[in-house]
Amino acid sequence: MKTSDEKPATTETQKKKKEKFVKVKARSKKYRASAQVLDKSKVYPISEALEFLAKFQKAKFDETVELHLNTTRTGISASLTLPHGTGKKTRVAIADDPSAHSTSSGQASSGQVKLDTLINKIDSGDIDFDILIAHPNAMPKLARIAKILGPKGLMPNPKNGTITQNPQDLVKKYEAGQISFKTEAKAPLIHLTVGKFSFGDKKLADNINAIVQAVKPENIQKIFLKTTMSPAIKVRV
């Protein structure tokens, strides 16, 4: 029989809750001071938003600058070459069925592996590319893994130009800074990288404006700009 000063045994559920508890790291005084100056109800011009982002630069690495767009509808997609690239090397894979098509040289091109091998890798969860470019002859086989590629935004699509008769030419464009974007499957949202903070205001503004024109201002409700470690700033369309 338990005495009155005995502590109740810790249940498994309580143990799990304790294990899941993670202490949130406090923001620095400088970060909090900068955040207080930011008017979250205001819509900032791009130039002013970039100035604010500079106040939040605390990381020791070159932070990525991100653009998040709320659009008027889903189903928006396109490709464009950013004026100054993203600062990130894009990993490109080619899906091409050698049994139905061969290159003029007869050799595998940049990023190309045997289609069956590529499909098996993807099916096992081994996805080591950012863009998948497909020759039309590969699409019937790729349909087998559409449920894997689709939710990740990696399924080749004629709307964003990732299905082409000349995959090798398209690889060169992506290596030169071309990007593709599309809204989320079930939400009118687009998320993009527009460069590194070290690009400077002018190059970042050039990239942002190029994206806005590609999406088209009439399709945009709100734009938010942020870096890896900063809060989001609402930007004027």
Q: How far apart are CA 111 and CA 99, in angstroms?
A: 18
Query: Do 117 and 55 share a structural domain?
Result: no
In a domain, 17, yes or no: no
Encoded amino acid at 109, one letter: S
Supply the pLDDT for residue 55. 80
Q: Which of 152, 175, 198 marks a domain boundary?
A: 175
100 and 170 both lie in a single domain:
yes
Pair (169, 105) in one structural domain: yes
Q: Against a cut of 0.75, is the pTM above it?
A: no
Q: What's the DSSP call for residue 93?
A: E
184 and 74 within one domain:
yes
Domain tally for the chain?
2
Share in percent of the chain as helix, strand, coil (round to 5): 35, 20, 45
On whether residue 62 sits in a domain, the answer given is yes
In a domain, 23, yes or no: no
pLDDT for 26? 64
Q: Do 199 and 167 sit in the same domain of this protein?
A: no
| 44 and 104 fall within a common domain | no
Tens-place pLDDT, residues 101-110: 444 333 444 4
Q: How far apart are the first and last CA of the chain?
A: 71
Question: Do residues 184 and 171 share a domain?
Answer: no
Strand 189-196 versus strand 64-71 pairing type: antiparallel
| Pair (111, 161) in one structural domain | yes
User: Are 78 and 195 found together in one domain?
Assistant: yes
Question: What's 172-200 look like in SS3?
Answer: HHHHCCEEEEECCCCCCEEEEEEEEHHHC
Same domain, 81 and 105: no
Query: Considering the domain boundaries, does residue 191 fall inside one?
Result: yes
Collect the ranges in the chain with pLDDT lower than 50. 1-2, 4, 22, 101-111
Domain-embedded: residue 40: yes
Residues 45 and 61 in one domain: yes
Q: Looking at residue 54, what is its pLDDT?
A: 85
Q: Which element (helix H / strand E) includes 77?
A: strand 77-81
227 and 201, same structural domain?
yes
Contact call for residues 142 and 119 (beta carbons, < 8 A): yes
> Range of 132's domain?
92-175
Q: What are phi and psi of 6, to 5 degrees?
A: -80, 135
Q: Are 188 and 73 in contact (CB under 8 A)?
A: yes
